[in-house]
């Protein structure tokens, strides 16, 4: 019975994805497709972040780094090799996920690396990776990489519709994965880790393995969506691939939408991206950046458990008192 | 001395003096993080904000650089108190504070760009000669030259970190702060006024950012993204020095900047930023192995 | 052959010696009481057996396997289950999922649907079925302790470590608890039972170990042990500091 329910849920998500796939047929306008692309990109990032950082409560500031690793894996493979795009696509997943697995193997040996320390180490590593990329001439070397020419004639071919469909497919995949994890055994283990790792461990959960693998999957999906983004950008440079605003926005989207559910980050991503697009329309970019940033800061201050937590707060207090 | 020896010596001295500036910036971060439970990235932005305000007061209003402190320190003190008061009222937890101050950090860059433009600004042309002419150090370092703002950084670090270290150990406020950090409930029973103490300490931290900001304005050209380059060194020194220990942060900052400058002298300067992070990662990964306390958080009492 | 064998278990916390060469043997299907004054190392020994932390010296052997270096989940899979002194229900999970967790991540890695079924059956046995779908915040202390035991039993253990499961309960609940522990033993599960209430322990234990200052003081038949003057001295010496 449960299996059927999960099957129905998965089918529902895939159906929603197929419905959204009709957008290029409805409108050929680049503006519409780019807006759709942005919404789906942020959705993928927020939902994939949440897989590990939300479900297990290990908030990472490194999601922008994994996304950037995916971008640079694809840009490097497209420009420096003659391999087909599909290989670069899969490599983006593998490299980003691999870095996360190695990091997890080292960090999760000790339980000190949670909360602020885990956040910091992931942030610090993002700086290191950005420095490495800008100093390695094969990857970037500080001059940026032109991807547009190399992407011509590949699967994506610089077409807004194809880019949109690729990110749609990735968003659907990510949401399905989040849904299956949240409603299944793996999610139960992650929730136990969030609540109390000692109890999880003594209840038979191999917390080390669960954390390392989920962190790897979460980062791998961010890297995967970085792959079409390299083509979307056309010209890739460290400053625009590794800005601090990416991990910040991903965190805030997930937290605002709610980190304990699979769908919360989707809501957060859509709300924040929509607000951002609306503000960018009005005049100065700096002003809109300030407004959206302050809005997020105030919202996090007022409801640190997300908009859902704000609604639930009252009854929960009654229960515990 | 051979030219190489002089160069090495010069690099070490400059690095150490730059380290005292970062130690002063780290002062506010380590005290707030270690004793108030607020991981404040915004403190670094506040320092640059202080530098820009100093810039405007000196270049536009024509104030003496040291006199700007009479304006910046009190106003920053109030700003820090107000921010902390909000944090206390909303019962902000450590991680939320990290997120919020990180958000403010990103916002601050845009605000500064909006107010002062993204161009590089420098006070150097308007400064009097006694603040710009290199000074030779006394024997035996007479071949080493330092700039007056660097000496100002040293003085600021000694005064502020010395006072703070003494105050944390010897004054009623300092002891109250430690008690509050250990157990707020018990501290309150013994007469520590929690909100007032926290707000005062945060105000003091913001005040030190104003002082550090003045030194920054005298010492280097200003641009909105400087905090991004400082953040690493400041956070790493705070952690390496032990959270809540300003003197430790100062020593760590001096050490890191000496190593970083030496690296830049012999190898590619563009790799230098990675050094601080490498030390931090090394320390974080090795520390549990060295002390065998990696699982302490799990260990139940007997 | 004995089920659990601890030899010379030693554990330091910083400079403090919490356990100093403790020996303990448990045979299959027996209830072993573990008593001692506050700070004598009872909970530390329990953590050393369940694997919460590594030990500095000595060895822990379970069912003929050396488990000294194993992590807690590995020991859980072998059949060592525990409760916590302060019950730690997982607040984000419903009561039934707290127990299903142990079934689905336990030795047999039962699929989720089946795990929930088994968890429901177990909760019914413990008379918690009415609250199976409730959030744990709805449980009182007694029910939280029962849930802790249910989660431990969900691992289908051969050795159950109980840490003061009766502390803070009223006399009726204590009697029910004692009956339940005996019932668990009757299913073939060995029990190590830490308790402050010496009377309660002696009433159901097959054997008793007394720890004092991190070392073995006395062990053997409960009645002989409580009459032993060294035990009386250890407790009286502690009496002023600890009226319990």
The DSSP code sequence of A182-237 is HTSHHHHHHHHHHH-HHHHHHTT--HHHHHHHHHHHHHHHHHHHHHHHHHHHSEE-
Give chain C's domain count. 1
Report the pLDDT averaged over residues A174-185: 96
pLDDT given at position B211: 96
Contacts of C13 in chain B (CB under 8 A): 299, 302
Mutation for B interface: C53, C54, C212, C215, most B CBs within 10 A: C53
Provide the pLDDT confidence category of residue B301 given band limits of 50, 70 and 90. Answer: very low
pLDDT given at position A300: 85
- A130 CB within 8 Å of a chain C CB: no
**Is the residue at C26 inside a domain?**
yes
The partner residue sitting opposite C137, judged by closest CB among A198, A201, A319, is A319
- C82 CB within 8 Å of a chain B CB: no
Domain that includes residue B187, residue range: 3-298
Distance CA C72, CA C80 (A): 9
Give the best-scoring range by mean pLDDT among A238-247, B48-57, B60-69.
B48-57
Say if the Cβ atoms of A248 and B93 lie within 8 Å.
Answer: no
Domain that includes residue A116, residue range: 2-243
Domain that includes residue C233, residue range: 4-239
Distance CA C191, CA C31 (A): 5
- The percentage of residues in chain B with a pLDDT greater than 90, rounded to a whole number, is 55
Is this complex scored with an ipTM above 0.95? no
pLDDT above 80: residue B181: yes
Distance CA C150, CA C141 (A): 14
**Is the residue at A210 inside a domain?**
yes
- C43 CB within 8 Å of a chain B CB: yes
Provide the pLDDT confidence category of residue A3 given band limits of 50, 70 and 90. Answer: low
- Stated as kind and residue range, the H or E segment containing B75 is helix B69-89
- Stated as kind and residue range, the H or E segment containing C26 is strand C16-26
Counting every residue written for chain C, the total comes to: 244
How do residues B137-161 score in pLDDT, each as one tens digit? Answer: 887 888 888 999 999 999 999 999 9
Distance CA B42, CA A217 (A): 32
Is the CB of residue B30 less than 8 Å from the CB of residue B250?
A: no
Contacts of A286 in chain B (CB under 8 A): 110, 113-114
Any idea which of A77-81, A139-143, B289-293 has the lowest mean pLDDT? Answer: B289-293
pLDDT above 80: residue A243: yes
Q: How close does chain A come to C72, measured CA to CA in Å?
A: 5
Say if the Cβ atoms of C112 and A203 lie within 8 Å.
Answer: no
Any idea which of A12-26, A301-315, C71-85, C149-163 has the lowest mean pLDDT? Answer: A301-315
Distance CA B279, CA B285 (A): 10
Is the CB of residue B249 less than 8 Å from the CB of residue B27?
A: yes
Give chain B's domain count. 1
Say if the Cβ atoms of A194 and C112 lie within 8 Å.
Answer: no
- C53 CB within 8 Å of a chain B CB: yes
pLDDT given at position B294: 34
pLDDT given at position A317: 38
Distance CA B211, CA B155 (A): 11
**Is the residue at A47 inside a domain?**
yes
pLDDT given at position B289: 59
- What DSSP designation does B272 have? T
- Stated as kind and residue range, the H or E segment containing C34 is strand C31-35
pLDDT above 60: residue A82: yes
**Is the residue at A128 inside a domain?**
yes
**Is the residue at A140 inside a domain?**
yes
Q: Residue ranges of the alpha helices (H) in chain A?
A: 2-20, 23-26, 30-49, 63-80, 85-107, 116-135, 148-151, 160-182, 185-195, 197-202, 207-233, 238-241, 245-257, 264-281, 285-302, 306-320
- Stated as kind and residue range, the H or E segment containing C8 is strand C4-13
Q: How close does chain A come to B69, measured CA to CA in Å?
A: 28
Distance CA A63, CA C62 (A): 43
Strands (E), chain B: 135-136, 145-146
The partner residue sitting opposite B39, judged by closest CB among A116, A251, A286, is A116
3-class DSSP string for A117-137: HHHHHHHHHHHHHHHHHHHCC
Strands (E), B83-189: 135-136, 145-146
Give chain A's domain count. 1
Mean pLDDT by 10 residues, chain C (244 residues): 93 88 94 89 93 93 94 96 92 94 94 94 91 90 91 95 87 88 92 86 90 89 86 69 44
**Is the residue at A249 inside a domain?**
no
pLDDT above 50: residue A318: no
Residues 205-244 on C with a CB inside 8 Å of B are 214
Mutation for A interface: B83, B89, B102, most A CBs within 10 A: B102
Query: Residues in chain B whose beta carbon is closer than 8 A to a beta carbon of chain A?
Result: 39, 86, 90, 92-96, 98-100, 102-107, 110-111, 113-114, 228, 232, 235-236, 239, 268, 270-271, 273-274, 277-278, 280-281, 284-285, 288, 294-295, 297-298
- Stated as kind and residue range, the H or E segment containing C59 is strand C57-62
**Is the residue at C62 inside a domain?**
yes
Distance CA A88, CA A227 (A): 7
Distance CA A256, CA C31 (A): 51
pLDDT given at position C171: 87
What does pLDDT average to over chain B?
Answer: 88
- A112 CB within 8 Å of a chain C CB: no
Q: How close does chain B come to C64, measured CA to CA in Å?
A: 26
Q: How close does chain A come to C229, measured CA to CA in Å?
A: 37
Size of interface B-C (CB pairs under 8 A): 26
Q: Of B45, B42, B66, which is closest to residue B54 (Cα–Cα)?
A: B66
Is the CB of residue A229 less than 8 Å from the CB of residue A37?
A: no
pLDDT given at position B292: 43
Sheet holding C190-194, edge to edge: C80-82, C159-163, C190-194, C31-35, C207-212, C215-220
A137 DSSP β-pair partners: none
Q: Which partners does chain B have (≥3 C-beta pairs < 8 Å)?
A: A, C
Q: Of B134, B143, B148, B162, which is closest to residue B24 (Cα–Cα)?
A: B162
Closest-approach residue (CA) in chain C for A195: C90
Distance CA A160, CA A31 (A): 9
Omega within 30 of 0 (cis) for the link into A42: no
| Sequence-distant (≥ 6) Cβ neighbours of residue B228 within 8 angstroms | A244, B109
Distance CA B220, CA B123 (A): 8
The DSSP code sequence of C141-189 is HHHHHHHHHHHHHTT--SEEEEESTTTT--HHHHHHHHHHHHHHHHTT-
Closest-approach residue (CA) in chain A for B299: A198
Distance CA A46, CA A60 (A): 12
- The pair phi, psi for residue B146, each rounded to 5°, is -130, 160
Contacts of C70 in chain B (CB under 8 A): none
* Domain CATH code at residue B65: 1.10.3470
3-state secondary structure of B253: helix
pLDDT above 90: residue A295: no
- C68 CB within 8 Å of a chain B CB: no
Contacts of C111 in chain A (CB under 8 A): 185
Provide the pLDDT confidence category of residue B30 given band limits of 50, 70 and 90. Answer: very high
Is the CB of residue A268 less than 8 Å from the CB of residue A309?
A: no
Any idea which of A45-49, A98-102, B54-58, B173-177 has the lowest mean pLDDT? Answer: B173-177
Which of the pair, B47 or B236, is modelled with greater confidence?
Answer: B47
What does pLDDT average to over chain A?
Answer: 89
**Is the residue at C244 inside a domain?**
no
3-state secondary structure of A304: coil
How do residues C113-135 score in pLDDT, each as one tens digit? Answer: 999 999 999 999 988 889 989 99
Q: What does the buried/exposed string (b/e) look like for B57-95 if buried means 16 or more CB atoms within 10 Å of the residue's CB?
A: bbbeeebebeebbeebbeebbebbbebbbebbeeebeeb
Query: Residues in chain C whose beta carbon is closer than 8 A to a beta carbon of chain A?
Result: 50, 52, 71-73, 76-77, 81-82, 84, 88, 90-93, 97, 100-102, 104-107, 111-113, 115-116, 135, 137-138, 151, 154-155
The DSSP code sequence of C179-221 is HHHHHHHHTT-EEEEE-S-HHHHHHH-SEEEEEETTEEEEEE-
Report the pLDDT averaged over residues A292-297: 86
Is the CB of residue C18 less than 8 Å from the CB of residue C12?
A: yes
Say if the Cβ atoms of B299 and C13 lie within 8 Å.
Answer: yes
Q: What is the pTM of this model?
A: 0.88
Any idea which of A51-55, A186-190, C216-220 has the lowest mean pLDDT? Answer: C216-220
- A210 CB within 8 Å of a chain C CB: no
Number of H helices, E strands in chain B: 11, 2
């Amino acid at each position: 019975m449960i299996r059927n329910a999960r099957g129905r849920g998965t089918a529902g998500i895939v159906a929603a994805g197929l419905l959204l796939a009709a957008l290029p047929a409805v409108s050929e306008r680049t503006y519409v497709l780019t807006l759709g692309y942005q919404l789906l990109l942020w959705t993928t990032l927020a939902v994939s972040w949440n897989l590990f950082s939300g479900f297990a409560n290990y908030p990472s500031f490194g999601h922008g780094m994994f996304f950037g690793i995916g971008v640079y894996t694809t840009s490097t493979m497209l420009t420096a090799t003659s391999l087909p795009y599909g290989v670069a696509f899969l490599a983006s997943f593998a490299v980003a996920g691999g870095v996360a697995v190695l990091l997890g193997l080292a960090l999760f040996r000790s339980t000190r690396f949670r909360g602020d320390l885990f956040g910091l180490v992931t942030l610090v590593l993002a700086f290191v990776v950005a420095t490495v990329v800008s100093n390695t001439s094969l990857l970037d070397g500080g001059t940026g990489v032109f991807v547009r020419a190399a992407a011509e004639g590949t699967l994506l071919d610089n077409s807004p519709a194809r880019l949109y469909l690729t990110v749609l497919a990735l968003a659907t995949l990510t949401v399905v994965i989040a849904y299956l994890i949240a409603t299944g055994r793996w999610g139960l283990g992650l929730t136990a880790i969030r609540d109390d790792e000692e109890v999880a461990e003594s209840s038979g959960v191999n917390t080390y393995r669960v954390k390392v693998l989920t962190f790897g999957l979460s980062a791998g999906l961010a890297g995967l969506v970085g792959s079409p983004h390299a083509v979307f950008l056309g010209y890739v440079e460290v400053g625009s691939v590794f800005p601090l605003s990416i991990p910040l926005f991903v965190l805030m989207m997930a937290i605002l939408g709610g980190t304990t559910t699979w769908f919360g980050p989707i809501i957060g991503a859509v709300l924040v991206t929509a607000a951002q697009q609306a503000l960018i329309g009005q005049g100065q970019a700096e002003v809109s950046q300030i407004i959206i940033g302050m809005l997020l800061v105030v919202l996090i201050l007022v409801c640190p458990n997300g908009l859902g937590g704000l609604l639930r707060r009252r009854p929960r207090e009654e229960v515990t008192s | 001395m051979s030219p190489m020896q002089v160069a090495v010596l010069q690099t070490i001295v400059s690095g150490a003096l730059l380290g005292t500036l970062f130690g002063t910036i780290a002062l506010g971060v380590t005290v707030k993080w270690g004793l108030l439970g607020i991981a404040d990235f915004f403190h670094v932005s506040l320092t640059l904000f202080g530098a820009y305000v100093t810039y405007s007061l000196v270049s536009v209003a024509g104030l003496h650089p040291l006199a700007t402190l009479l304006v910046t320190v009190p106003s920053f003190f109030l700003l820090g108190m107000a921010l902390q008061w909000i944090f206390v009222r909303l019962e902000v937890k450590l991680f939320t504070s990290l997120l919020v101050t990180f958000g403010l950090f990103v916002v601050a860059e845009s605000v500064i760009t909006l107010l002062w433009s993204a161009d590089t600004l420098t006070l150097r042309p308007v400064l009097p000669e006694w603040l710009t002419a290199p000074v030779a150090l006394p024997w035996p370092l007479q071949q080493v030259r330092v700039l007056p703002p660097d000496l100002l950084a040293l003085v600021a670090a000694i005064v502020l970190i010395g006072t703070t270290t003494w105050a944390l150990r010897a004054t009623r406020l300092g002891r109250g702060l430690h008690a509050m950090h250990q157990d707020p409930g018990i501290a309150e029973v013994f007469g520590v006024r929690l909100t007032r103490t926290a707000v005062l300490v945060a105000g003091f931290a913001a005040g030190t950012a104003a002082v550090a900001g003045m030194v920054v304005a005298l010492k280097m050209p200003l641009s909105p993204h400087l905090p991004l380059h400082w953040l690493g060194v400041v956070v790493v020194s705070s952690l390496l020095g032990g959270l809540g220990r300003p003197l430790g942060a100062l020593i760590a900052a001096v050490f890191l900047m000496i190593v970083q400058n030496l690296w830049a002298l012999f190898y590619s300067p563009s790799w230098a930023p990675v050094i601080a992070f490498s030390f931090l990662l090394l320390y974080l990964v090795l520390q549990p192995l060295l002390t065998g306390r990696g699982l302490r958080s799990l260990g139940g009492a007997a | 052959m004995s089920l659990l064998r601890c030899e010379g278990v030693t554990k330091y916390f910083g400079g403090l010696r919490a356990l100093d060469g403790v020996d303990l043997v448990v045979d299959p299907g027996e209830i072993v009481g573990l008593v001692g004054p506050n700070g004598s190392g009872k909970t530390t020994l329990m953590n050393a057996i369940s694997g919460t932390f590594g030990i500095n010296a000595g060895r822990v052997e379970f069912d003929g396997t050396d488990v000294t270096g194993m992590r807690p989940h590995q020991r859980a899979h072998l059949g060592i289950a525990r409760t916590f002194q302060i019950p730690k229900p997982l607040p984000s999970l419903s009561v039934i999922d707290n127990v299903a967790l142990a079934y689905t991540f336990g030795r047999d890695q039962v699929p989720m649907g089946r795990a929930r079924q088994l968890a429901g059956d177990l909760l019914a046995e413990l008379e918690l079925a009415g609250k199976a779908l409730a959030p744990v915040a709805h449980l009182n202390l007694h029910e939280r302790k029962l849930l802790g035991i249910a989660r431990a039993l969900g691992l289908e253990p051969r050795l159950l470590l109980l840490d003061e499961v009766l502390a803070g309960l009223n006399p009726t609940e204590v009697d029910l608890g004692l009956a339940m522990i005996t019932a668990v033993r009757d299913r073939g599960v060995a029990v190590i039972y830490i308790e402050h209430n010496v009377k309660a322990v002696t009433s159901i234990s097959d054997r008793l170990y007394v720890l004092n200052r991190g070392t073995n003081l006395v062990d053997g038949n409960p009645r002989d042990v409580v009459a032993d003057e060294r035990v009386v001295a250890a407790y009286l010496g502690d009496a002023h500091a600890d009226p319990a």
